Amino acid sequence: MDANLKPEITYPCPWTYKVIGGNEDDVRRAVKVMLTVCLDQESGDRTWELSRSRTSGQGKYVSLNLALTVRSEEERNALYAGLKECPEIVMVI
């Protein structure tokens, strides 16, 4: 497989982001704000699930899985970029 080729994704499709931060409550609030800002609100009610994945060995970080259906590549990328910009969020995968 050519490393320069983008994978072909058919939208809408289910997508999961792993969101990592220091304080679970702060991360949950930041995710909810970004969902409001980045998702296409004209597409109607959107369902999503934010579940705890794990906590680091020393308890310094918590990771959450954000699962939802994204409607387009632009929406998927906008949400990723928005989450990365939140100071409460250390990393998005």
Q: What is the mean pLDDT of each run of 10 residues along the chain (93 residues)?
A: 78 97 97 90 80 92 96 94 97 97
The confidence score (pLDDT) of residue 77 equals 96
- Encoded tokens for 7: 């994978």
Nearest to 35 by CA among 3, 73, 66, 72: 66
pLDDT number for residue 82? 97
What is the structure's pLDDT at 43?
63
**pLDDT score, position 1:** 55
Question: Which CATH code is given to the segment(s) 13-48+59-92?
Answer: 3.30.70.260
pLDDT score for 25: 97
Say which residue the tokens 């949950």 belong to.
Answer: 28
